[in-house]
Amino acid sequence: MNEKEKQEYLEGYKEAKEKGLPFFPDILFKDAVFALLVFLILVALAYFLGAPLDARADPADSSYTPRPEWYFLFLFQLLKFFPGALEVVGVFVIPTLVILLLFALPFIDRSSRRHFLGRPVVVGVTSLALVGVIFLTVQAVREAPPPEEAVSGDQTAVLYTQNCAPCHGPSISVPTGTNLHAVIAQGKHDEGMPAWNADLTTNEIDALAGFILSPEGSQLFSQNCAACHEAPELVDSDPLELKNALEQGQSYSFHENLDIPQWTETLSKEERTALLNFLVAPDGQRLFAINCAPCHGRSVAFSGEESDLRSIISNGGLHLEMPPWRERLSDTELDTLARYVVDPATVPNGKTLFNQYCSDCHGERIPAAEDVAQARQIIASGGGHETMPVWGDVLTAEQLDALVSYTWDAAKGTPLEVGQQLFAKNCATCHGDFGEGGPNPSRPGDIIPPISTAEFLKTRDDVTLRSIISQGQPNFGMSPFGTSFGGPLEDEEVDAIVAYLRAWEQNPPVEFPPEIKVTTVSLDGAEIYADVCAQCHGPEGQGLVGPSLADPEFQADNTDQDIFNTINKGHEATAMIAWGEILSSEQIQQLVEFIRQLKPIEGQPEPTASPTPSVPSFSKDVLPIFQQSCTMCHGTFGGWDASSYETVMNSGDNAPVVNPGDVEGSLLAQKILGSQTEGSLMPPGGKMSEDKIQTILDWIAAGAPNN
């Protein structure tokens, strides 16, 4: 380039510089292109590398060391130079001054020079700040403390300290036979103890029960087992396996190649017992659920003495009769089941057959057999094949006492079974058999929502449910049921209903309310009476929970106005609510006129202080007995089926087993009484209680109605 061309270029450059470039669209276009390029780079990094995430925040994790992102490390390190009260300088003052300086920079640095050598002050300050940021970042990385290692301690003791010790102190004295799991899960409302089943898992409650009943065992677990196991992990284990693990030590299959001591040498017999009592707490309900329920269901039908029951459990033996499956299964099915029992992993299609025909008694436990031929012979011929373990050798003395006590009580009716019967008798009329709700018989156009959904049960604790049942909800037409408020149920019966409702929470029978056609209460007195009065006073006014309205003495002693006032205002401290808040005056008058037409039932005995017994209901009284005592076998094994009214009346090899109105001629009655000429007593474990037998006999004598 000669001198003339150079001069022309400089003049052109000077002219272009003086003229400049317009912001729109030139500069804006360049900025947009560069911004798009940066955006594409960020998208590529996010897609191919991703953003690393730590585990979910856990406030209880004391081993976690919180650290800021790398681009904030310099500020994090800067705080170390401003301890205590000076922290505000590093957190607020200095960052604020820097931001203000950036805003003021265009006004401070007004030099027209663009080369960095021509702007020494700005370049120097910026370089110094950059060096400071890099230095502080490096120091923050170098001085970062290593993550703390979590120290293994007695986590169950921590659970006790956090949830129980503030009220109960360092230890709790538990009376013999107490169902500690149920107490912790459901609480004790009369003593102000909350229900912990919403805050703790079942295994945590079990571990807590073990700690309370065997604190020494908890300490031994922390010292000897906690390095590999967590307490809730083992409390759901088979007691026999736990005992084998302690006795066999390194010879136990899961302890092979592990550096563990021989527990029989390092722990005394008393210490091993304490450890077992902690892992498998002497809690009868839990011991029954783990060891007995897979074969016996929710309870055992037993009519002997408690000492006899203890002997059976302690000594074990043959107690269950298996039907001869060769009469019901094909040769192919028998072969498949036999091979599945010997080696389940190699016969996947055997699981379906096992679940269909065997799991009701065996549960998930597959019985052992030496070879396929032996297994096939046992399955085909049936008989007393399943040997109950000798629990006296497996369980500790405390565990055996608890198991016998619970089994004995369960044979007389567990709280859940009692609660089911009480619910069917007192609650199902309005709330439905499964708490599904329906039309409110006491409020025209109103729908009772489901009470068995997960949402309902999670948002109402046991204290709330107990209060609703005891005190009622008169504004919604629900009478009080607690004796303290004039109802028919004692506190223990209310608790049983609450326990039954709470049992729905894990597997709610209803998630959405059924579709219901809304109806209104008719002005006809008979329909109003049937909807809102018959539940307590009887369909014919004969009296049930409430007094007989057909009694001539009642009719003579009360005027129409007296009856009207009683319906309108109710009776304090009784289950009779004030219907005047729900029914109109015209509806109450229709009721009065209907009550005046009631006549004593011919042959009805004189009224007494106790309600006149009514005909047992199949769905509410008889079917629950069958479900408890019969359907475990008579529902899947073929033959007589006790699962519904139709099958009860029509199924069985000797059908019909029920002759309506003929108790002596009904095979069912003969079987439960032990007067049969064919077969054996049912249930095979012993006669049912007299109350249950009488209920079934009364139902047959009444014509075996489908009510």
Q: What is the per-residue pLDDT across 359-376, written as a single tens digit (0 to 9) for each? A: 766 656 677 777 888 888
DSSP string, 607-646: P-SSPPP-PPPIIIIIHHHHHHHTTTTTTTSSSS--SSHH
Q: At residue 637, does pLDDT exceed 60?
A: no
Closest Cα to residue 672, out of 613, 630, 627? 630
Residue 689: inside a domain: yes
Of the residues 364, 382, 410, the one at which a domain ends: 410
∠ CA(69), CA(73), CA(75), 5° rounding? 120
Do residues 183 and 274 share a domain?
Answer: yes
- Whole-angstrom Cα distance, residue 560 to residue 596? 8
Return the higher-pLDDT residue of 628 and 602. Answer: 628
Residue 41: inside a domain: no
Residue pLDDT, tens place only, 563-577: 988 888 877 655 577
Which residues does residue 447 pair with via DSSP β-bridges, in sequence order? 439
Q: At residue 605, does pLDDT exceed 50?
A: no
Average pLDDT over residues 338-354: 85
Residue 393: inside a domain: yes
Q: At residue 40, does pLDDT exceed 90?
A: yes
**In which band, very low, low, confident or very high, does the pLDDT at 225 lie, cut at 50, 70 and 90?**
confident
pLDDT at 198: 63
Residue pLDDT, tens place only, 133-167: 999 999 888 876 655 544 445 677 777 777 787 78
Do residues 327 and 355 share a domain?
Answer: yes
Average pLDDT over residues 425-452: 75
Q: What is the DSSP secondary structure assignment for residue 439, as one 8-state letter?
A: E
The three state secondary structure string of 197-266 is HHCCCHHHHHHHHHHHHCHHHHHHHHHHCCCCCCHHHHCCCCHHHHHHHHHHHHHCHHHCCCCCCCHHHH
Return the higher-pLDDT residue of 624 and 202. Answer: 624
Of the residues 361, 394, 410, the one at which a domain ends: 410
- Domains: count for the chain: 6
Do residues 333 and 395 share a domain?
Answer: yes
∠ CA(381), CA(386), CA(391), 5° rounding? 165
Q: At residue 510, does pLDDT exceed 80?
A: no
Long-range contacts of 254-258 (CB under 8 A, 24+ apart): 258/228
Residue 562: inside a domain: yes
The pLDDT mean for the chain works out to: 77
CATH code for position 581: 1.10.760.10
> Where do runs of H (alpha helix) occur along 49-119?
73-78, 87-88, 94-108
Tell me which residue range forms the domain holding 633.
618-701
Do residues 268 and 170 share a domain?
Answer: yes
- Whole-angstrom Cα distance, residue 433 to residue 90? 67
- Whole-angstrom Cα distance, residue 549 to residue 599? 9
The CA distances from residue 402 to 175, 181, 315, in Å, are 11, 12, 16
pLDDT at 460: 80
- Whole-angstrom Cα distance, residue 287 to residue 282? 7
Do residues 335 and 399 share a domain?
Answer: yes
Do strands 438-439 and 387-388 pair parallel, antiparallel, or not at all (unpaired)?
unpaired
Q: What is the DSSP secondary structure assignment for residue 149, as one 8-state letter?
A: P
Residue 515: inside a domain: no
**In which band, very low, low, confident or very high, does the pLDDT at 31 lie, cut at 50, 70 and 90?**
very high
Contacts of 397 (CB under 8 A, 6+ apart): none
Residue 51: inside a domain: no
Average pLDDT over residues 60-70: 72
Residue 507: inside a domain: no
Q: Is 270 left (phi over 0), alpha (psi -120 to 50) or beta?
A: alpha
Do residues 406 and 419 share a domain?
Answer: no
Do residues 260 and 173 share a domain?
Answer: yes
Of the residues 247, 281, 315, the one at which a domain ends: 281
The CA distances from residue 68 to 79, 87, 215, in Å, are 13, 17, 42
Return the higher-pLDDT residue of 517 and 125. Answer: 125
Count of CA atoms in the C-beta half-sphere (13 A) of 308:
6
CB 654 within 8 A of CB 634: no
Q: At residue 199, does pLDDT exceed 90?
A: no
Q: Which residue has the tokens 């009080």?
A: 480
The per-residue b/e assignment along 591-607, b for 16 or more CB within 10 angstroms, e otherwise, is bbebbeebebeeeeeeb
Residue 296: inside a domain: no
Q: At residue 282, does pLDDT exceed 60?
A: no
Contacts of 203 (CB under 8 A, 6+ apart): 232, 233, 235, 236
- Other CB atoms within a 10 A radius of the CB of residue 49 amount to 8
Do residues 359 and 470 share a domain?
Answer: no
pLDDT at 241: 73
Do residues 267 and 208 share a domain?
Answer: yes
Do residues 393 and 486 share a domain?
Answer: no
Whether this prediction's pTM lies above 0.85 is answered by no
Do residues 316 and 329 share a domain?
Answer: yes
pLDDT at 33: 94
Rounded to 10 degrees, what is the CA torsion of 267, 271, 272, 278? -140
Do residues 267 and 383 share a domain?
Answer: no
- Whole-angstrom Cα distance, residue 155 to residue 186? 22
pLDDT at 283: 62
Average pLDDT over residues 505-512: 67
CB 519 within 8 A of CB 442: no
